[in-house]
């Protein structure tokens, strides 16, 4: 609070709930007379710290992946004895490994890095991950997936600079089978993830005391996001499960929407004025799973 004054004589007023050295209570202040003196709020900026956003979203991602894995197992167990229009030889659930490309919005971050003399990074990042899903009632797909995002490192004044990220999703889809062994599906994913900027000192240390003498060797800042994935995929199963070698190859594509983002954070401290970079953008990845080599001889 601040006090606005104009010249004039004085009078004594009592102000309720004024913070005094003895506690909260009645305080006496002297104000100018004939000036309509008043208390006005000072224009201050208040920003709620979201120091635990990254941790919460990381735990939520793990929860999504756990739910997806449990759903996969449950759906497989449920459908083993359940009648349906799918051939018995085709597996209901599927696990997969995925590799591909994730396009991100790193332009605001690159502007800040380039302005400070640091290297910039391509928005197309390599995506590595995996997941799984189960099929309920021969149509509904429930599962989860997680991916790490990688890009080439750079250097600045003897420091290694890198940008990466990762995310986890809970997926909901609807399965179509236009041909034997072929699956086609739209897919909706909800989850969380984040980007991370690492600046590491490439210096060396001969013993433990060297580290203590110069502990300021690196910095890592991150930003968390709530993500919505809109896309679809197709898979084709080669071979018959339980009868020799089998594999399931697939392709997934879509668009990642970064709905909500936290402040950039250094440890537990939220950083003001961070760049508005995000993981939003299209993605394309190849999936492979269902590999087995069982012979009934």
pLDDT digits (tens, 9 = 90+) for 140-153: 999 999 999 999 89
| Long-range pairs of 145-152 with CB within 8 A, sequence gap ≥ 24 | 145/65, 145/68, 145/98, 145/169, 145/171, 145/189, 146/61, 146/65, 147/98, 147/102, 147/285, 149/102, 149/104, 149/125, 149/195, 149/279, 150/125, 150/126, 151/121, 151/122, 151/125, 151/126, 152/121, 152/122
Mark whether 115 and 227 lie in a shared domain.
yes
Residue 159 resides in a domain: yes
3-class secondary-structure state, position 17: strand
What is the DSSP secondary structure assignment for residue 224, as one 8-state letter? E
6 and 111 assigned to the same domain: no
* 125 neighbors 104 (Cβ within 8 angstroms): yes
**pLDDT-based confidence at 4, cuts 50/70/90?**
very low
Q: What whole-number distance in Å separates Cα of residue 297 and Cα of residue 34?
A: 106
At 64 the pLDDT is 52
Which residues touch 93 (CB under 8 Å, ≥6 apart)? 72, 73, 75, 76, 132, 133, 134, 135
- State residue 82's pLDDT score: 43
Beta strands in 175-280 (DSSP E): 176-179, 182-201, 218-240, 243-261, 264-266, 269-271
Total of domains in the chain: 2
| 3-class secondary-structure state, position 172 | strand
Q: Which of 125, 119, 91 is nearest to 285 (CA)?
A: 125
Q: Which residue has the higher pLDDT, 155 or 240?
A: 155
Region of 295 (left: φ > 0; alpha: ψ -120 to 50; beta: rest) is: beta
- Residue 114 and residue 142 in one domain: yes
Does residue 88 sit in the same domain as residue 184?
Answer: yes
Residues 163 and 84 in one domain: yes
Position 112 in a domain:
yes
Q: Is 12 found in the same domain as 88?
A: no
DSSP 8-state class, residue 242: T
Give CA 12 to chain center in angstroms. 57
- Mean pLDDT estimate for the chain: 76
pLDDT of residue 57: 52
Q: Is residue 77 a part of any domain in this protein?
A: yes
Q: Is 107 helix (H, G, I), strand (E, B) or coil?
A: helix
The owner of tokens 């490309």 is 101
CATH number for the domain that contains residue 207: 2.40.160.20
C-alpha 102 chain-centroid distance: 13
Which pLDDT does position 59 carry in this prediction? 52
Mean pLDDT of 147-162: 90
Whether 131 is covered by a domain: the verdict is yes
What lies within 8 Å, CB to CB, of 279 at 6+ separation is 102, 104, 105, 149, 165, 167, 193, 194, 195, 225, 227, 256, 258
The sign of the torsion formed by the CA atoms of 55, 58, 64, 69 equals negative
Identify whether residues 91 and 207 lie together within a single domain.
yes
Q: What is the pTM of this model?
A: 0.67
Q: Give tens-digit pLDDT for 165-204.
A: 999 999 999 999 999 889 999 999 999 999 999 988 766 6
pLDDT at 88: 40
Look at 110 and 43; give whichever has higher pLDDT.
Answer: 110
Whether 46 is in a domain gets the answer no
Helices (H), 53-169: 53-80, 107-115
Domain, as residue range, for 22: 2-40
Q: What is the token pair recorded at 13?
A: 């007023």
Asked if residue 45 is part of any domain, the answer here is: no
3-class SS at 91? Answer: coil
């Amino acid at each position: 609070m601040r006090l606005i004054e104009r010249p004039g004589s004085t009078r004594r007023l009592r102000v309720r709930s004024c913070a005094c050295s003895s506690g909260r209570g009645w305080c006496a202040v002297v104000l100018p007379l004939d000036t309509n003196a008043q208390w006005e709020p000072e224009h201050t900026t208040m920003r709620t710290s979201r120091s635990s956003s990254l941790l919460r979203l990381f735990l939520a991602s793990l929860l999504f992946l756990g739910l997806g894995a449990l759903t996969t197992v449950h759906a497989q167990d449920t459908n083993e004895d359940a009648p349906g229009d799918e051939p018995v030889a085709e597996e209901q659930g599927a696990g997969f490994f995925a590799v591909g490309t994730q396009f991100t919005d790193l332009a605001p971050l690159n502007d800040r890095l380039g302005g400070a003399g640091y290297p910039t990074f391509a928005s197309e990042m390599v995506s590595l991950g995996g997941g799984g899903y189960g099929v309920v009632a021969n149509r509904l797909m429930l599962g989860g997936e997680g991916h790490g995002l990688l890009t080439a490192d750079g250097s600045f004044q003897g420091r290694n600079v890198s940008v990466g990220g990762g995310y986890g999703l809970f997926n909901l889809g609807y399965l179509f089978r236009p041909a034997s062994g072929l699956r086609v599906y739209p897919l909706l994913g909800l989850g969380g993830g984040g980007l991370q900027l690492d600046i590491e000192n490439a210096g060396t240390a001969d013993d433990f005391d060297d580290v203590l003498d110069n502990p300021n060797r690196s910095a890592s800042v991150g930003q968390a996001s709530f993500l919505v994935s809109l896309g679809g995929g197709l898979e084709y199963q080669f071979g018959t499960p339980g009868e020799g070698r089998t594999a399931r190859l697939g392709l997934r594509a879509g668009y990642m929407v970064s709905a909500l983002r936290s402040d950039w954070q250094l440890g537990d401290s939220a950083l003001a004025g961070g760049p508005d970079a995000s993981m939003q953008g299209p993605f394309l990845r190849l999936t492979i799973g269902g590999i087995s080599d069982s012979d009934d001889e």
